[in-house]
Amino acid sequence: MKRRELLLGAAAAGTLGFPAVLKAQQYKAEYKMSTVVPPAFAWGKGGEIFANLVRERTSGRINIKQYPGSSLVQGDQTREFSAMRQGIIDVLCGAPINWSGTVRQLGVFTLPFITPDHKALDAVLASPAVMDDYFDLVRKAGAEPLAVGETGFRQISNSKRPIIKPEDMKGIKIRVVGSPMYGEIMNSMGANPTFMSWADAQPALASGAVDAQENPLEVFLAAKIHTLGQKYVTKWNYSNDILLFAIANPIWQGWSAQDQKIVRGAAQDAARQQIAIVRKLFAEDVERVRALGVDVHVPTPAELNTWQIACRRVYARWKVEVNASLIGKMEQVVEKTRKA
Ligand code: X2X
């Protein structure tokens, strides 16, 4: 429904009174949602499901339009959060790692091996001690958090050689997202990281300007990264960001309580579906990537241990940089899953 119709509707109803008319004025014809990737990827699909559910359940009162390729910020995903604060983006469906330059304390999920498997991640996401704090931080940063999906465990791919142990990373030019922490992880293993948006990463891989990248294999498959000369994959599961569904505070506050409830429910349903898609692909990804002729190395537990040791110093430093108290709570939750 258009803004004008809403106003007329409220005025015609008469009994609604002045405050209701004011409230109606808050609704926009379109709410802009940024996603880095389009619906052909699980992440973009999550955004699409969310927008569709909201449109259906509000009878079109709330019309969320998806802008994939981070196009609202000219492809520079690191600017999403500040653009949301400026009113350019209304709806976030994104990975906090991309916002680490704006709101570093939201980057707790991406520390290397903080949630080494789905059991650990699920325990963290189900922990009110962790998630209540996290959602409070999101609110203070400028958005109402609604639900949490999963972007997926990130794996290294490269064009040079099989990467079995940390030393194999020496001299590898690797593209990472604009997160200084990922840069340090790569540096600590002797690789040469370059920060680059997703839009720039694919041409850089194709031209050989960089040798390597790290992304969930779901992304590797959807973007056909094997066609960009990436012949070797290491499934080390070092980092798995959430997919945060959130609404810019001023937009959220302009919606009726009933619509807020509908939108939150839609985000929760979309997140559940999105996680199911990511996990189904995670279970099949080794086979599917191998079928493309790519060499996939799945580390043994002993090898994984070596990777975790290699990341320890960076972990310790970034725990303090990001949010030591919240990360401490996450560690306790994960520790319990190990004993269980
Ligand atoms: O740019 C990437 O690597 C991506 C799509 O995974 C993120 O936005 C974090």
Predicted local confidence at residue 324, as pLDDT: 97
Say if ligand 1 is within 6 A of residue 73 CB: no
Predicted local confidence at residue 301, as pLDDT: 97
Tell me how far the alpha carbon of residue 61 lies from the centroid of ligand 1, in angstroms: 31
Predicted local confidence at residue 191, as pLDDT: 98
Predicted local confidence at residue 10, as pLDDT: 42
Domain boundaries, the chain: 19-151+241-283, 155-239+285-322
Q: Could you tell me which of 49, 37, 32 has the C-alpha nearest to residue 84?
A: 32
State the Cα angle at 196 between 191 and 199, rounded to 5°: 135
CA 223 to CA 53: how far, in whole Å?
26
Predicted local confidence at residue 18, as pLDDT: 46
Tell me how far the alpha carbon of residue 179 lies from the centroid of ligand 1, in angstroms: 10
Q: Could you tell me which of 314, 187, 289 has the C-alpha nearest to residue 230?
A: 289
Predicted local confidence at residue 94, as pLDDT: 98
Q: How far apart are the first and last CA of the chain?
A: 51
Strands (E), 206-256: 212-216, 232-234, 240-248
CA 277 to CA 284: how far, in whole Å?
11
CA 285 to CA 290: how far, in whole Å?
8
Q: List the chain pLDDT tens, one digit each, 340 residues.
A: 444 444 444 444 434 444 444 455 479 999 999 999 999 999 999 999 999 999 999 999 999 999 999 999 999 999 999 999 999 999 999 999 999 999 999 999 999 999 999 999 999 999 999 999 999 999 999 999 999 999 999 999 999 999 999 999 999 999 999 899 999 999 999 999 999 999 999 999 999 999 999 999 999 999 999 999 999 999 999 999 999 999 999 999 999 999 999 999 999 999 999 999 999 999 999 999 999 999 999 999 999 999 999 999 999 999 999 999 999 999 999 999 988 7
Asked if 274 and 45 count as a contact pair (C-beta separation under 8 A), the reply is yes
Predicted local confidence at residue 14, as pLDDT: 38
Nearest residue (CA) to ligand 1, atom 6: 215
Predicted local confidence at residue 238, as pLDDT: 98
How many Å separate Cα 187 from the centre of its chain? 23
Say if ligand 1 is within 6 A of residue 36 CB: yes
Helix (H) or strand (E) holding 282: helix 257-290
Nearest residue (CA) to ligand 1, atom 2: 198
Predicted local confidence at residue 339, as pLDDT: 83
SS3 at position 152: strand
Ligand 1 probe mutation, 198, 221, 228, 240, most atoms within 8 A of CB: 198
Say if ligand 1 is within 6 A of residue 242 CB: no
Say if ligand 1 is within 6 A of residue 155 CB: no
Asked if 291 and 229 count as a contact pair (C-beta separation under 8 A), the reply is no
DSSP letter assigned to residue 74: T
* Domains 19-151+241-283 and 155-239+285-322 in one fold: yes
155-239+285-322: CATH superfamily:
Bacterial extracellular solute-binding protein, family 7 (3.40.190.170)
CA 266 to CA 93: how far, in whole Å?
13
Please state which of the four CATH numbers 3.40.50.920, 3.40.50.2300, 3.40.190.170, 3.40.50.300 is assigned to the domain occupying 19-151+241-283: 3.40.190.170
Tell me how far the alpha carbon of residue 94 lies from the centroid of ligand 1, in angstroms: 9
Ligand 1 probe mutation, 151, 196, 220, 228, most atoms within 8 A of CB: 151
**Residue whose token pair is 């991640």:** 121
Tell me how far the alpha carbon of residue 10 lies from the centroid of ligand 1, in angstroms: 43
Helix (H) or strand (E) holding 112: none
Say if ligand 1 is within 6 A of residue 98 CB: yes
Instruction: Point out the ligand 1 atom lying closest to the alpha carbon of residue 77.
Output: 8
Phi, psi of 111 (to 5 degrees): -60, 145
Tell me how far the alpha carbon of residue 287 lies from the centroid of ligand 1, in angstroms: 22
Nearest residue (CA) to ligand 1, atom 8: 36
Predicted local confidence at residue 178, as pLDDT: 86
SS3 at position 79: helix
Instruction: Point out the ligand 1 atom lying closest to the alpha carbon of residue 175.
Output: 3
What is the DSSP annotation of 10-39? HHHH-TTHHHHHHHHTT--S-EEEE-SS-T
CA 144 to CA 129: how far, in whole Å?
18
Q: What's the full length of the chain, in residues? A: 340
Around Cβ 65, how many Cβ atoms within 10 Å?
A: 13
